[in-house]
Structure 1
Amino acid sequence: MTLTLIRRILLIFRVKMSSSASGLLLPTGVRGMIDLDREKFSRNITVPILKVSDEKLSKITQICKPYFLKLSNFKPVQSLQDKNGETVTKCIYFDPVKVSKWLDISENARTSLKQQSITEDNYETKEIQLSYDNFKYDEIFKAVLPKNEEVVSGFSQIGHIIHLNLRDHLLDYRSLIGQVLIDKINTCRTVVNKSNIIDNTYRNFSMEVIAGEEDFLVTVKENRCNFQFDFSKVYWNPRLCKEHERILEFLKPGDILFDVFCGVGPFAVPAAKRKSRVFANDLNPESFKWLNHNAKQNKVNMNLFKSFNIDGKDFICNTFRDFILDYCNGMEKLDKGAKIHITMNLPAMAVEFLKNFNGLIKEFELKDKFNCEILVHVYCFAIGEDPYAIAKKMVCENIGKDVTDLISDIFDVRNVSPKKEMMRVTFKLTKEILFSSNEGEENSEPPSKKHCSSVQEE
């Protein structure tokens, strides 16, 4: 039995179990709805209630809290009125999934209630009407979308935009899905469905607005910085927030960061704010524009910050190389104990740029003057059973040397899909690599990022 089949069986089993447990509260008669009709989510259900007096309400609610009926826009404790509209007592609403009769309440809870003079005489049922407003988005999706199929299991939010990667079987429902998310998530004004395929130079996805405003200008707060950008024209992945934070923890004041594929600055801007000296590069002119905007908006000391709008290869072979030459010639200084960090966050192809470091410096007479520590943090997609071994092999093959002994960390950043992990490999870039003569070694050109097309980037 294949792993895919096993996963599908487990998914169907999980859906059946969850639907059988919560079916009493789910909307009915809406399966297969394509155009959102909120009125069709209204339904009447009978639920258990407990009548209590005001003076004992506080102690009784603490006992009954595990059994509360929890719905959106619904209070589990309400005033109960008589036929004349006067409040006569309080009413606690129980979840009918948890309580269908008095004995479903635990013996300990019943004993505690009895001590408050609450018995089965206080227990009865009451009919209430539920509406669209009482259901969460996942409950609506479970009731509407195809049964025993994967539903909308997750999404990312960037500012006011929610972006989805909908499976083919959900595409007919995309308008409904988008509108439900706007209704149910207060901070959402736009919902887009994005393709996983990057089909152009600059790593921005093709996308379709499926609900809300066609407004792609967003503001995101991360690592004590505010980032603004046009989400339709640059790359931003909110799932990488923790990884950005991890790298920033490595950087100390006085360190130097070369960010080869910097985007709008999630590494570069906070690094400069922390008094690291930053050289930030991205080929995308839109990313370059917003990178500089974000540096200014976050009041970065521009003496510590330089930005570039060139290909990654040129950034390594010119900007980084010139810095190393100037350092060896005494024209650039490093604080005592300071390190140089190089981030290469283009997981679909960053490893292919590593060969540019091998034999980068041809001025061999400067080799003895090189005495700084350089750490490379390169990202890749590892597809297979052992992502750690695969990531290490990719780095060694692409740099053209066995750097196993120089690797200080191989980190699994996140799962992208079954058997596909985004990995980070951290290794030392030594003088033996930079000043290698490359005699007898193949030194083929890495594919320019300018020619990146149809690259999977998730």
Structure 2
Amino acid sequence: MTLGYIREILRKMSSTTCVQLVPVGVRGMKVLDRDKFLRNVQVPVLKVKEENLSKITQICKTYFLKFEAFRPVQAIESDEIDSYQKCIHLNPEKVSQFTDISETDRTKLKQLGVTEDNFDSKEIQLTYDNWRSDIIFKAVLPENEEGVSGFSQIGHIIHLNLKDHLLEYRPLIGQVLVDKIKTCRTVVNKSNIIDNTFRNFSMEVIAGEEDFFVTVKENNCIFQFDFSKVYWNPRLGKEHERILSYLKPQDVLFDVFCGVGPFAVPAAKRKTKVFANDLNPDSFKWLNHNAKNNKVKSDFFKSYNQDGKDFICSVFKDYLTDLCNGKEKVEGKIHITMNLPALAVEFLKYFHGLLKDEELTAKFDQEIIVYVYCFAIGDESADVAKKMVIENIGCDISSTIIDIFDVRNVSPKKEMMRVTFKLTKEVLFSVSDDSEPPCKKLCVSE
């Protein structure tokens, strides 16, 4: 191949529109046909000798042609008369001619004997195995519409919340994710509505095995549970870690809506004394399984299967009473986690006037920190969250609020917030207006 011929190829490449490295002819596919993702494309290459190969590839890394199951540096297998042994494949979206490589990098390459004479083009064949899932979805799903914007992975399960316009594509979407994510065996499309007392979702298996038993690791603990029957949000791992960092071995934790134990189990394992409660019998089952599986000692862990109101008005109240009477002893702080963001603030009223015995007032001298979670809708999330807490606890606790923290974005203008405040003697011994608990079967969205 003459230098003039190479330059003619380069001239044609540079005068045309940049090569788009995407599958073609697959728009609207609803049942996955892997063969239709086959595509031949012309890409730029550098043909180089083995000598100084490691230094050359280091310079060229930013220009590499990167695909799944594709090596950008390959041996030249043809019987060409030149002495080149390696072919470095470059991304045509970045490089169409040698001068598209930065001047600094070209200077470094020339010092290693690589010049424009080494520049060539080559046809390669791309298959389904080479395309990433996001590239496949972009090529297949409707244009100018929101695609598969994200998903959660819980153990081997991928959890999707597909928009209505994507529902007819769900078999393809699910199969692509099973193919492309090595740790995935099951894909579910899960309704965004938590439609019952226990915060578990309705779901549909759209690809893979119908296996909901998962194992996940978080904060040095192993959690196992049936994902179809309990609540677990992998996006809360950092928040669990934050709260755990506030707990000391001499502290006590009351976890009112504990689920399968993301706060309770690691806290007890670190020798904080934990009282963990959840109304869902399946959560209660897996909570105890996880405590046992993580070798949590019974001295540091007690579990309850009660409504949140009953847990506050019996277990927590009795503990405070015993504390005042000297039957219990706390060397550190008492912490209360209330992670039921759609309803937790409605349970705050049960702290107001919880202790009726005036003789205990003088004996009460305990720091109690509450971490209550809520959904705040609107632009001023912190103000909304603060107002919700004050209204529900039934008195102005502004002076005892320690922190209002934005945990995560749930949807446009909807934030999951955490309000941290001190539960004081004034609140616990106040005269309260007893009223009915919030509706347990309220339909709420997460």
Q: TM-score, normalised by structure 2?
A: 0.94
Cα pair 1:48 1:124 within 8 Å, conserved: yes
Q: How far, CA to CA, are the matches of 1:63 and 1:74 in structure 2? A: 19
In the alignment, structure 1 residue 254 sits paired with structure 2 residue 243: no
State the 1:86 CA deviation.
12
Map of 1:285 onto structure 2: 281
Cα pair 1:79 1:87 within 8 Å, conserved: no
Map residues 15-414 of structure 1 onto 2, 5 A cutoff: 24-83=20-79, 89-335=85-331, 338-414=332-408
In the alignment, structure 1 residue 416 sits paired with structure 2 residue 410: yes
Unpaired runs of 5+ in structure 1?
1-20
Cα pair 2:48 2:84 within 8 Å, conserved: no
Distance change (3 Å), C-alpha of 1:232 and 1:170: same
Map of 1:3 onto structure 2: none
Cα pair 1:198 1:453 within 8 Å, conserved: no
Q: TM-score, normalised by structure 1?
A: 0.92
Map of 2:11 onto structure 1: none
Query: Identity over aligned residues, as a percent?
Result: 71
Q: How far, CA to CA, are the matches of 2:152 and 2:177 in structure 1? A: 12
In the alignment, structure 1 residue 453 sits paired with structure 2 residue 439: no
State the 1:359 CA deviation.
0.5
Distance change (3 Å), C-alpha of 1:86 and 1:311: farther
Q: Helix, strand or coil for the counterpart of 1:409?
A: strand
Q: Deviations over 1:189-215 (max 9, x none)?
A: 000000011111210000000000000
Map residues 420-439 of structure 1 onto 2, 5 A cutoff: 420-438=414-432
State the 1:88 CA deviation.
5.4
State the 1:87 CA deviation.
9.3
CA RMSD of aligned residues (A): 1.5
* Counterpart residue identity of residue 109, structure 2: L
Cα pair 1:281 1:308 within 8 Å, conserved: yes
Cα pair 2:49 2:83 within 8 Å, conserved: no
Q: 2:435 aligns with which of 439, 444, 449?
A: 444
Q: Deviations over 1:323-365 (max 9, x none)?
A: 0111111111112xx0000000000010000000001111111
Q: How far, CA to CA, are the matches of 1:241 and 1:100 in structure 2? A: 44
Of 351-360 and 50-59, deviating more is 50-59
Cα pair 2:215 2:223 within 8 Å, conserved: yes
State the 1:447 CA deviation.
0.9
Q: How far, CA to CA, are the matches of 1:295 and 1:346 in structure 2? A: 21
Q: Deviations over 1:38-73 (max 9, x none)?
A: 000000000001110111212211221111101111
Q: How far, CA to CA, are the matches of 1:353 and 1:117 in structure 2? A: 74
Q: How far, CA to CA, are the matches of 1:303 and 1:381 in structure 2? A: 35
Cα pair 2:47 2:84 within 8 Å, conserved: no
State the 1:268 CA deviation.
0.2
Cα pair 2:353 2:430 within 8 Å, conserved: yes
Between the two proteins, the alignment pairs up a number of residues equal to: 430
Q: How far, CA to CA, are the matches of 1:121 and 1:84 in structure 2? A: 15
* Counterpart residue identity of residue 161, structure 1: I
Unpaired runs of 5+ in structure 2?
1-16
State the 1:444 CA deviation.
2.5
State the 1:420 CA deviation.
0.4
